[in-house]
Chain A
Amino acid sequence: MAGTYSLGIDRIACDGYGLCAELLPERIELDEWGYPVVASAPLAGDALRHARRAVAACPALALRLDRATERVPDRQPAQRT
């Protein structure tokens, strides 16, 4: 699905201030500690425009748009031995 995007978060960089949830309430909620919970559905049209604004506003540069096509190969489960 070339051209579709979804939201990604660098969880280490994210400081939980929650600006993204204010700018994009239709996609991002905050947990009880103020860290974002993101709906994983692909973004298009208006939603994509709003998402771009939220990405630009994230003070920690933690929020990003991932191209859906870039998600293959998806990250692998952790090695755990």
Chain B
Amino acid sequence: MTDAVIDGRTTPQAGVGREGMLGPYGSRLLHGWYATGGAADLDEHLRRYGPPPFPRTADAADRLVRAVEDAGLTGRGGAAFPTGRKLRTVAAGKGTAVVVANGMESEPASRKDETLLDLAPHLVLDGAALAAAAVGADVAHLCLPRTRRDQARALREAVEERRRPGLDPVPVLVHELPHHYVSSEETSLVRWLNGGDARPLATPPRPFEKGVGRRPTLIDNVETLAHLALIARYGPGWFRGAGRPDAAGTTLVTLSGALRTPGVYEVPMGRPLGEVLDIAGGAAEPLGSVLLGGFFGSWLPAGGALRVPFAKQDLAALGAGPGAGVIVALPARACGLAEAARVLGYLAAQSARQCGPCRLGLPAVAADFADLAWGRPGSESLWRLEDRAGLLAGRGACRHPDGASRFAATALRVFADDVRHHLSFGPCAAAGDEPVLPVPDAPAPDEREWR
């Protein structure tokens, strides 16, 4: 088996796939889909990309970790944490490591992980097994939401398909977890895999120190692992052939809202937001704002935001981040306050109800916001809302309250004109319109629904 990374060579390994490695529009992960319009089975996958180059020695494992570091790959699940650093920490941990592939995708405005797992399941499985080999893990767990029965079945079949030729060096187990907003948290996965609820745990210890079975646990988003699978084959230089030096590679995005052709796309990091939206056909009507990062994200005014590069550094300056690649385009005609109020109501209901500030603070903020959107609020209720939202950040075991706080604060800033209008005249005409941002009609999870 040829092996670009492991042998330290820069030439990519053989395989019909190399030729078209960069598919139409620079696609890498979605290349197969552009080529065939369907999901890739194992044969097709191996024809396109060649077999995954598993490291067979400790040195080779270390070289794979270094390749991921040099590639500058960052987590595609929302945190954008350097993947190589995480691999190195887990590899150096005490005891045999465990790998967890996070395919939960609890973010309601995101579809990219589901899409990737449908279209290129073997790229994700390659990545999980390669990551396991890199950190010396003896098992990899793939976590999916219980709501996607068919996908879990397809993934189990894919794992079985790989088991027959003995492709993977470690067993890969597919799990179906409860589908709640905070069930995709790293500590929720660990807790569930250890036999408990899919609810966050207090930290420390962090999963990379003591996670599944109290062992060092590497938890990576499924898209991150798919990129890793290609870096292992083609090397860091190849990976950096797309994107920018400080924001390398491509990323999957879920584009929705007032766009001509909403959907999941693969784009190079660092493109201006406006160009990213153009891939989905551009705005279908005049835009007022964009929501970056979904329900866990930030609102930005459309005007300035469209010129900002889609990269952690540039977005951080605006108090935003690439998140999990979710971008929602809100038309200027929509009532941002009503849109935000619905989301905050959902986030409040999705609290795991373990921490006082989240259990009590989130519903209070959501109620204040609903009053602002549809009631007859006075300015003192706006101040109270700002105070309460400001107090949420950093006061939960997980980042759920931080996300809600940022979501509320950026909404109040970006929709300041609407706020003034609602305070003076009550709800605007658009406050009663059909929502642009679909909010799941999920009731608060029952105590027994977390296992």
A residues apposed to B, CB below 8 Å: 10-16, 31, 33-35, 37, 40, 70, 73, 75-81
Contacts and interface: CB of A to CB of B under 8 A. Distances in A.
A37 B395 contact: yes
B323 A80 contact: yes
B81 A76 contact: yes
A6 to B, nearest CB: 12
Interface in B269-313: 293-296
A37 B202 CA distance: 17
A8 to B, nearest CB: 9
- Measured as residues with beta carbon below 8 angstroms from the partner, the interface class of chain B is 35 or more
A73 B223 CA distance: 23
Nearest to B103: A81
Contacts of B89: 73
Question: Interface on chain A toward B: helix, strand, loop, or mixed SS?
Answer: loop
B397 A79 contact: no
B397 A11 contact: yes
Given A10-B397, A75-B203, A81 B355 contact: no
Contacts of B107: 80-81
B324 A81 contact: yes
Contacts of A14: 355-356
23 contacts: A11-B357, A11-B395, A11-B396, A12-B201, A13-B202, A31-B361, A31-B391, A35-B356, A35-B395, A73-B89, A76-B79, A77-B399, A78-B184, A78-B185, A79-B79, A79-B186, A79-B219, A80-B184, A80-B323, A80-B403, A81-B110, A81-B184, A81-B221
A10 B202 contact: yes
Given A12-B202, A14-B355, A78 B400 contact: yes
A79 B75 contact: yes
B76 interface: yes
B347 to A, nearest CB: 11
Contact of B356 (A11, A76, A81): A11
B389 to A, nearest CB: 12
Given A79-B77, A79-B79, 14 more contacts: A10-B397, A12-B397, A16-B356, A35-B395, A37-B395, A40-B394, A75-B206, A77-B321, A78-B186, A80-B295, A81-B76, A81-B102, A81-B110, A81-B113
Contacts of A12: 201-202, 354-355, 397
B399 A78 contact: yes
Contacts of A40: 394
